[in-house]
Amino acid sequence: MTTEDLRRGVAELARREDRFAAVVRQYGFPPMWDRAPGFATLLHIMLEQQVSLASARATFGQLTAITGSLTAENVLRLDDARLRSAGLSRQKARYARAVATAVVDGSLDLDALPVLEDASVDAMLLAVTGIGPWTAAIYRLSALGRADAWPASDLAVVTAIADLWQLPAPPAPADTLARAEAWRPWRSVAARLLWQQYLGKRTRPHT
């Protein structure tokens, strides 16, 4: 997805939904939030599962420093103690080793993903231990630039939906999935708008 695609998607969603138009008016046009495809980005996204972005970024930085170059082969050279010293939990260390193994043995061909359909990308990613629907969706959205990826359980997404629609509590992933049907084929753009709302509300100066 290009910047022009993002602009077209934002315009279309703002036309369909007044709340999205209000996000743009109040907080501006959302960034691409794109990332380079490959093993390092996939691992970084996995580290972001169920922790703060700052914590994941710190762990990713330590892991990069330990390996020198964050490749699958270099990760497999680290024992559990070294992985734990970088800040990975026991579970995250197991997941890191699983995805690195899949890349090295060829069962996960990251170079092939850009030319595959979304369903095939998800199937290949979800076959790896430690990669769930959120990680697969974020990788498709940010690394592969797909226009219709939907991170249904994303904390910022569900929080922003609850805020914009004035819900009594953040919706369950199944509810956000149903709600997002109306935003096809621009669900990745909807996610960016919701992130913009989430971040904008938290960084806006209080008066």
Residue pLDDT, tens place only, 147-187: 999 999 999 999 999 999 999 999 999 999 999 999 999 99
Secondary structure percentages of the chain, helix, strand, coil, to 5:
65, 0, 35
Over the stretch 36-64, which tens digit does the pLDDT of each residue have?
A: 999 999 999 999 988 888 999 999 999 99
* Alpha helices (H) in 68-116, listed in sequence order: 72-76, 80-85, 90-105
Q: What is the rounded average pLDDT of the residues 87-96?
A: 95
Pick the CATH number of 3-33+149-203 from 3.40.309.10, 2.40.30.10, 1.10.1670.40, 3.90.1300.10: 1.10.1670.40
Give CATH 1.10.340.30 domain extents, the chain. Answer: 39-143
Q: What is the mean pLDDT of the chain?
A: 95
For residue 51, what are the contacts with CB-CB under 8 A and spacing of at least 6?
A: none
Cβ atoms of 135 and 45 within 8 Å: the answer is yes
CA-CA distance, 134 to 160, in Å (whole number)?
A: 17
**Mean pLDDT, range 1-18, rounded to an integer:** 97
Confidence of residue 205 (pLDDT cuts 50, 70, 90): low
pTM across the whole model: 0.94
Residues above pLDDT 90, as percent of the chain: 94
pLDDT at 206: 45
Fold type of domain 39-143: Endonuclease III; domain 1 (1.10.340)
> Tokens representing 198?
């989430």
* pLDDT band, very low/low/confident/very high, at 204 (cuts 50, 70, 90): low
What letter would DSSP give residue 35? -
Q: What is the mean pLDDT of residues 114-131?
A: 97
Q: Cα 160 to the chain's mean position, in Å? A: 16
Distance, in Å, from the CA atom of 33 to the CA atom of 142, rounded to the nearest integer, reads 6
Start and end residues for every CATH 1.10.1670.40 domain found in the chain: 3-33+149-203
